[in-house]
Structure 1
Amino acid sequence: MASTIPSKTRAYRLPKNEGIRSLVLEEEPVPKPKDNEVLVKVHAVSLNYRDLLIASGTYSVRVKPNVIPASDMSGTIVSLGSDVKGWQVGERVCANFFLDYVFGEITDEIIETALGAGVDGVLTEYRAFPTHSLVKVPDNLSHIEASTLPCAGVTAYNSLLGPRPVKAGETVLCIGTGGVSIFAAQIAKASGAGAIVTSSSDDKLELAKKLGAKHGINYKTHPDWEKEVLKITNGRGVDHVIEVGGPGTFDKSIASVRLGGNIYILGIVAGLNEVSSVPLKILQKGINVRGVLVGPRSSFEDMNRLIEVNNVKPAVSKVFSFEKAKEAYEFLQAQKHVGKVVIQVAQD
């Protein structure tokens, strides 16, 4: 098998941070795995909103110079370091978003190991990974589907099945139809809960319902969409909110959640605004607010079991070839997607 590994690989890099046009495709030597590493042939990479921020130089976490972008991949092991045990050539794997986050609480040191920021990412044909960062791809998923799991999937799972797990019969509000929100709707359904999804597009809402959401609210038709949430829940409010909008939607999320409910802060897609009254509103309703930083490898492994048992299929909106990575970024930026945007690096 090792004889089929080329000496050169192609990788995208960001020598500048001036937006999508900064992406440059370069040829580099294929890395040699260290003693505790495996070399992976990357098959598929999925993009996140964070990748747009990194390309434009507006990401809030340190990014190494000339970084290889992207954090989410699925690939096949093609060679093993000398000390590797428990992994075989030919196994399909994903890498955890934070390479060194195996279990427990996150630390500053772990944050530095985020793929595509503190360390080189996965938008490349071959990459070496430490074995402690890897999980097996669920048997029911293709590489394209599995590439969507490391950030969006684990974030949604860690939100809904973390310290305050979703219960059967509860209701989850998912803001928008991006990757995390759609995964959360699917995980809610697999857990016996119902999901309400918001969008500005009726077509997107129809698709979200096919993917597992129980209710959809068009926030263009219903600008006071929190009132629709309360109608659907008979005035009680939802038990959990997947809050990817940030300050731009937070007031409405607070109005939508029940007394003692849970809000998971995952992003700032809706932009920033005045938030000075937020602490009082949280106190008045006894809301549990939790910032979710993706999750450890242990959560990834737990999620993969849920995906296999319930045959959850990630929502892939569009697939681009490796050569058309810039177009994939542009498609994500245009926000026309439902679920995930994927770059196919190699054929399955």
Structure 2
Amino acid sequence: MKCYELQGPGGIDALALVDKPIPQARKGELLVRLTAASLNYRDLLTVKGGYGSRQKFPLVPCSDGAGVVEAVGEGVRGFAIGDRVLGSFFEGWLGGEPSEAKMRSALGGAVDGTLSEYRVFRTDAVVKTPAHLTDIEAATLPCAGLTAWSAVVKLGNIKPGASVLTQGSGGVSIFALQIAKLCGARVIATSSSEAKMARLKELGADVTLNYKTTPDWGKRAREITGHGVDLVVEVGGVGTLNESIRATRIGGSIAFIGVLAGPPPAELRLPLMVMQQQRLQGVTVGSVEDLQAFCDALALHGTKPVIDRVFPFDQVKEAFHHMASGAHFGKVAIAIG
């Protein structure tokens, strides 16, 4: 089988396409012929060497993949050859609260990921692909999709009539917009592109704000809602945190996910967060149990992910460069085989 390996530091152009034997499914495992993968910002950081000094080499990158069961190991129940499945981001986090042990099982980081023609999965670490989704669409769910689900539903507890602010048009942000609308929430979406803002409105955003022409977008969001939003899905990181604090109502929450906006400002408005009793909630994907709940919700509503572009397997480097450019709207995916 063919797979991509990050064999050491060197960035995107150091990715090597190599041949390896097809692995065998052992007891309690599934051999999956992967047909699709998708890229996340975390994958880009991993390949560029910005995801910690203890990166293992060689590494098969990427956490997100979907495909077809090719073989089942001894004792497997509930899955059969030919079933369409997708893998969970954390193989060892089946449910309950996170822990250090559970979070050491992240695909494409602690263990080999999905940029491969075949991969063996633990039976309890996969879910069946929702019937209304293609494999390409399903491959976008495990990281960005589940992170947004955790931010809005599991941890954000968003109910009908609530207000949510999303930032930009990457995978997490668009999923968060879609999920918030499924919950019956009002969504304010930010972007620096008028064309992307128009597309965000087509997806259901009630209000869009251009953060370049309206740099005090947090203040503006508070004015629009009258008291501030219930939840900000914060993908910018400390670089946008001040405006997120301004946007959030007294007692509201900020789901802290990404690091896209660069270094912090000279002064963070942390005292304002304290005075307004806001909650800053870190969000790191979710469990297999959460992934199943997310897939069930998508199936119930017939919701589909937004795919920006699909690259063939021999153009993985081009896919990473496209993602690094920031030009994408939604998910960047890879067709395998």
Above 0.5 in TM-score? yes
Shift of 1:148: 0.5
In 2, Cα distance between equivalents of 1:291 and 1:223: 24
Q: Which residue of 2 aligns with 1:18?
A: 10
Q: Which residue of 1 aligns with 2:154?
A: 162
CA-to-aligned-CA distance 1:59-90 (integer Å, 9 cap, x gap):
13742211000000111101000121111111
Q: Which residue of 1 aligns with 2:332?
A: 341
Q: Which residue of 2 aligns with 1:102?
A: 94
> 1:164/1:183 Cα in 2 relative to 1: closer, same or farther (>3 Å)?
closer
Matching residue's letter, 1:138: P
In 1, Cα distance between equivalents of 2:156 and 2:106: 25
Shift of 1:227: 2.7
CA-to-aligned-CA distance 1:101-133 (integer Å, 9 cap, x gap):
110111111221100000000000000000110
Shift of 1:16: 1.8
Q: 2:156–2:231: 8 Å Cα contact kept in structure 1?
A: no
CA-to-aligned-CA distance 1:9-50 (integer Å, 9 cap, x gap):
000000122211011100110001111110001111000001
**Residue 248 (structure 2) pairs with residue 266 (structure 1):** no
Q: 2:165–2:232: 8 Å Cα contact kept in structure 1?
A: yes
In 1, Cα distance between equivalents of 2:216 and 2:197: 17
Matching residue's letter, 2:199: L
Residue in structure 2 matching 1:171, options 163, 166, 180: 163
Map 1:205-216 to 2 at 5 A.
205-216=197-208
Q: 1:97–1:151: 8 Å Cα contact kept in structure 2?
A: yes
Matching residue's letter, 2:250: L
Return 5+ residue gaps in structure 2 as ranges.
none
**Residue 300 (structure 2) pairs with residue 309 (structure 1):** yes
Relative to the length of structure 1, the TM-score reads 0.94
Shift of 1:211: 1.9
**Residue 179 (structure 2) pairs with residue 193 (structure 1):** no
In 1, Cα distance between equivalents of 2:163 and 2:95: 28
CA-to-aligned-CA distance 1:167-194 (integer Å, 9 cap, x gap):
1011110011110000000001111112
Residue in structure 1 matching 2:115, options 109, 117, 123: 123
Shift of 1:215: 1.6
Percent of residue pairs identical: 42
Q: 2:242–2:268: 8 Å Cα contact kept in structure 1?
A: no
Q: Which residue of 1 aligns with 2:136?
A: 144
In 2, Cα distance between equivalents of 1:275 and 1:132: 46
Q: Which residue of 2 aligns with 1:56?
A: 48
Q: What secondary structure sits across from 2:101 in the alignment?
A: helix
Q: Which residue of 1 aligns with 2:75?
A: 83
Map 1:189-268 to 2 at 5 A.
189-233=181-225, 235-268=226-259
CA-to-aligned-CA distance 1:139-179 (integer Å, 9 cap, x gap):
11111111100001110101111144101011110011110
Matching residue's letter, 1:157: W
Residue in structure 2 matching 1:326, options 312, 317, 327: 317
CA-to-aligned-CA distance 1:225-276 (integer Å, 9 cap, x gap):
123212321x311111000100100000000001000100001110122576
Q: 2:227–2:249: 8 Å Cα contact kept in structure 1?
A: yes
Q: Which residue of 1 aligns with 2:273?
A: 282
Return 5+ residue gaps in structure 1 as ranges.
1-8
Q: What secondary structure sits across from 1:174 in the alignment?
A: strand
CA-to-aligned-CA distance 1:195-248 (integer Å, 9 cap, x gap):
111111011111112222222111122122123212321x31111100010010
Matching residue's letter, 2:12: I
Q: 2:59–2:108: 8 Å Cα contact kept in structure 1?
A: yes
Aligned length: 337
In 2, Cα distance between equivalents of 1:187 and 1:31: 37
In 1, Cα distance between equivalents of 2:223 and 2:290: 34
Relative to the length of structure 2, the TM-score reads 0.97
In 2, Cα distance between equivalents of 1:321 and 1:272: 35
Structural RMSD (CA): 1.3
Q: What secondary structure sits across from 1:206 in the alignment?
A: helix
Shift of 1:278: 4.2
CA-to-aligned-CA distance 1:289-344 (integer Å, 9 cap, x gap):
11011000111111111101111110000000000000000110000111100011
Q: What secondary structure sits across from 2:280 in the alignment?
A: strand
**Residue 38 (structure 2) pairs with residue 46 (structure 1):** yes
Q: 2:143–2:285: 8 Å Cα contact kept in structure 1?
A: yes
Q: 2:150–2:156: 8 Å Cα contact kept in structure 1?
A: no
Q: 1:319–1:341: 8 Å Cα contact kept in structure 2?
A: yes
In 2, Cα distance between equivalents of 1:164 and 1:95: 24
